[in-house]
């Protein structure tokens, strides 16, 4: 297998990510699942040896049409009301499920002594906009209205999501502001999809990037907006594509991340700058040499570690919780060995 991690005009990738990027760019069969599975097993092994405080989960059903499943993770040892992060998984609006993010949600709950509510929203194309964002809003509202009986602090509720989950989190935050039913204190937008027009420099330039590219973004938006709307058209509402919002005042303090080699990079940066101009407190991180999904496929790379730790610290600050060495991830854990990166032969189309 030989796949260059860069193309003309693409900046040099972080050396720790180069082998993983090359494997992803090979487009060989099952490479995404193989790399993701290897990373998840390694992370699970790390967490198992980290001696983190125990957490437990409970399954909820948020009222809606239909009801929205929510899995709530909270620390076992914390009896007092704890703050809560409502988390929305990614997957290009069309894939993924909440169960796949249970390990992440449980780990965040344990490392920060907070609750994390993991939403199972409906997916496109079977359920296009507005169904998914309505599910997320219904789940958030239920968490708020049930906060006291669930042992949660109704004055310390944050929302967050990654990639398409970031789009849904940002769209939900706009709904929260406009409906004025939930006192949302923070939004965490991790490499978010925000703009269906795909007209930024990075969206136009990064057509062959590892992890995610322009074609993937276009396909995701088409599925989410459904047959009634065209990506880039004049009728796309801001609750679907938050970059379309004309007014950003009144949104909660925001933590937003982008990756240098991501077609979504510039729309995230532009959104952060517009939030700042609207008087919203914003912390923006653009991680150099990294691509969309780098944390998923190469979680032990230094840049991935830094992104994960900064996210934990930002959440702790926003939710007013004290931190300790649990926010320092795997200081004694070795990197994934290079021979664990799947290698492919040229003639079989699968693992060598």
Q: Is cis: bond before 204, omega within 30 of 0?
A: no
Catalytic residue among 142, 262, 266, 304: 262
Residue 337 lies in a domain: no
At residue 252, the pLDDT reads 99
Residue 43 lies in a domain: no
For residue 210, give the nearest of 29, 341, 9, 32 by alpha carbon: 32
Q: 100 exposed, middle or buried (CB, 10 Å; 0-12, 13-18, 19+)?
A: middle
Q: 117 exposed, middle or buried (CB, 10 Å; 0-12, 13-18, 19+)?
A: buried
Total domain count for the chain? 1
Question: Alpha helix locations (H) across 201-264?
Answer: 201-205, 214-225
Residue 46 lies in a domain: no
Q: 329 exposed, middle or buried (CB, 10 Å; 0-12, 13-18, 19+)?
A: buried
Distance CA 232, CA 196 (A): 6
Tokens 């789009």 appear where? 167
Residue 203 near residue 263, CB atoms below 8 Å: yes
Host domain of residue 248: 60-294
Q: What is the largest CA-CA distance in the chain?
A: 60
57 is catalytic: no
At residue 12, the pLDDT reads 78
At residue 80, the pLDDT reads 87
Residue 316 lies in a domain: no
At residue 323, the pLDDT reads 86
Pairing of strands 254-261, 282-291: parallel
163 is catalytic: yes
For 121-159, letters b (16+ CB in 10 Å) and e give bebbeebbbbbbbbbbbbbbbbbbeebeebbbbbebbbb
Catalytic residue among 89, 135, 163, 304: 163
262 is catalytic: yes
Encoded tokens for 62: 């948020």
Task: Return phi, psi of residue 135, to 5°.
Answer: -60, -45
Residue 132 lies in a domain: yes
Distance CA 20, CA 25 (A): 9
At residue 50, the pLDDT reads 82
At 162, is the secondary structure helix, strand, or coil? strand
Encoded tokens for 10: 């693409």
Encoded tokens for 206: 């990064």
Residue 236 lies in a domain: yes
At residue 11, the pLDDT reads 63
Distance CA 105, CA 218 (A): 28
Residue 178 lies in a domain: yes
Residue 116 near residue 152, CB atoms below 8 Å: no
Q: What is the CATH number of the domain that holds 139?
A: 3.40.50.1820
Residue 212 lies in a domain: yes
Any residues with CB less than 8 A from the CB of 178 and at least 6 apart, and which?
Answer: none
Catalytic residue among 14, 19, 202, 292: 292
Residues of the chain short of pLDDT 70, as ranges, are: 1-11, 330-352
């Amino acid at each position: 297998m030989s796949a260059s991690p860069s193309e003309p005009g693409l900046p040099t990738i972080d050396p720790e990510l180069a082998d993983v990027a090359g494997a992803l760019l090979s487009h060989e069969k099952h490479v995404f699942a193989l790399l993701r599975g290897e990373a998840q097993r390694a992370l699970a092994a790390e967490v198992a040896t980290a001696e983190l405080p125990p957490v437990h989960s409970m399954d909820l059903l948020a009222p809606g049409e239909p009801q929205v499943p929510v899995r709530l993770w909270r620390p076992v040892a914390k009896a007092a009301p704890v703050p809560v992060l409502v988390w929305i998984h990614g997957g290009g609006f069309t894939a993924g499920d909440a169960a796949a993010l249970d390990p992440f949600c449980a780990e965040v709950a344990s490392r920060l002594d907070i609750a994390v509510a993991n939403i199972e929203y409906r997916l496109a194309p079977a359920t296009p906009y507005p169904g998914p964002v309505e599910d997320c809003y219904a789940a958030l509202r239920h968490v708020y209205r049930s906060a006291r009986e669930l042992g949660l602090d109704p004055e310390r509720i944050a929302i967050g999501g990654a990639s398409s989950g970031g789009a849904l989190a940002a769209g939900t935050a706009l709904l929260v502001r406009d409906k004025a039913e939930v006192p949302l204190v923070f939004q965490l937008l991790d490499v978010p999809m925000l703009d269906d027009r795909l007209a930024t420099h990075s969206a136009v330039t990064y057509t062959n990037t590892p992890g995610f590219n322009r074609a993937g973004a276009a396909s995701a938006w088409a599925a989410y907006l459904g047959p009634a709307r065209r990506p880039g058209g004049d009728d796309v509402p801001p609750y679907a594509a938050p970059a379309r919002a004309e007014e950003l005042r009144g949104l909660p303090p925001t933590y937003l991340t982008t990756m240098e080699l991501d077609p979504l990079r510039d729309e995230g940066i532009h959104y952060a700058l517009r939030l700042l101009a609207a008087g919203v407190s914003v912390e923006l991180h653009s991680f150099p040499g990294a691509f969309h999904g780098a944390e998923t496929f190469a979680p032990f790379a230094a840049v991935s570690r830094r992104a994960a730790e900064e996210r934990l610290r930002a959440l702790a600050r926003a939710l007013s919780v004290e931190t300790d060495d649990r926010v320092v991830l795997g200081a004694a854990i070795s990197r994934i060995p290079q021979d664990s990166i799947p290698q492919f032969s040229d003639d079989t189309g699968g693992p060598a």
